[in-house]
Amino acid sequence: MEATQSPGSAPSRRRFLTALWVALGGVAFTELVWIAISFLRPSLRRSSRIEIGAIVSAGPVERFAPGSVTAFRDGKFYLVRLEDGGFLALHRKCTHLGCTVPWIAEEGRFACPCHASAFDLRGDVLNPPAPRALDLFPVRIENGIVKVDVTAPIRRLAFDPSQVVRA
């Protein structure tokens, strides 16, 4: 009887049909996985959409004293004016694990409550475990008004003078 023959000697039509079934099963499985992943894809979700293109008007340049740090809770950033008058917008998220870093004015540094990372006025790492400087948001100065684009933070390893925006 043909049905009891070993797979090696099975007729080629039967082998072809078996392979076809396995392939179709594979396609069906891939489709299911694909559907599941497309459900998980974050870009389709609401919360990530509304943030696109958000520009925060921080205020006139003169309002920020050199060497000062101003927190903007809605924009999730600190507007820093360096001693030389340049501006930086620092993301408030610690680069270690994402805790919110408060500015400790008395010590003149950002200190993360989660794992004791610390950053200086320019966002550079003073104390690990944070692996890189605080992220930046792009700053523009239009007609003497400081504007910060909070769409997406920019990663950087360390402070560089080219990151500073001057009036």
Is 129 among the residues that bind other proteins (CB under 8 A)?
yes
The residue length of the chain stands at 167
In angstroms, the CA 33 to CA 25 distance is 12
Is 113 among the residues that bind other proteins (CB under 8 A)?
yes
Reduced to 3 states (helix: H, G, I; strand: E, B; else coil), residue 54 is: coil
Region near other proteins per CB under 8 A, out of 4-12, 58-66, 99-107, 141-149: 99-107
Reduced to 3 states (helix: H, G, I; strand: E, B; else coil), residue 90 is: strand
Is 32 among the residues that bind other proteins (CB under 8 A)?
no
Is 157 among the residues that bind other proteins (CB under 8 A)?
no
8 A C-beta contact, residue 111 and residue 100? no
Task: Report, in Å, the least distance between residue 71 CB and other proteins.
Answer: 9
Is 114 among the residues that bind other proteins (CB under 8 A)?
yes
8 A C-beta contact, residue 123 and residue 136? yes
Q: Looking at 81, 91, 96, 122, which residue binds other proteins (CB under 8 A)? A: 96
Token output for 55: 């520009």
Binding stretches for other proteins (CB under 8 A): 40-42, 45-48, 51, 73, 76, 92, 96-102, 111-116, 128-129, 131, 152
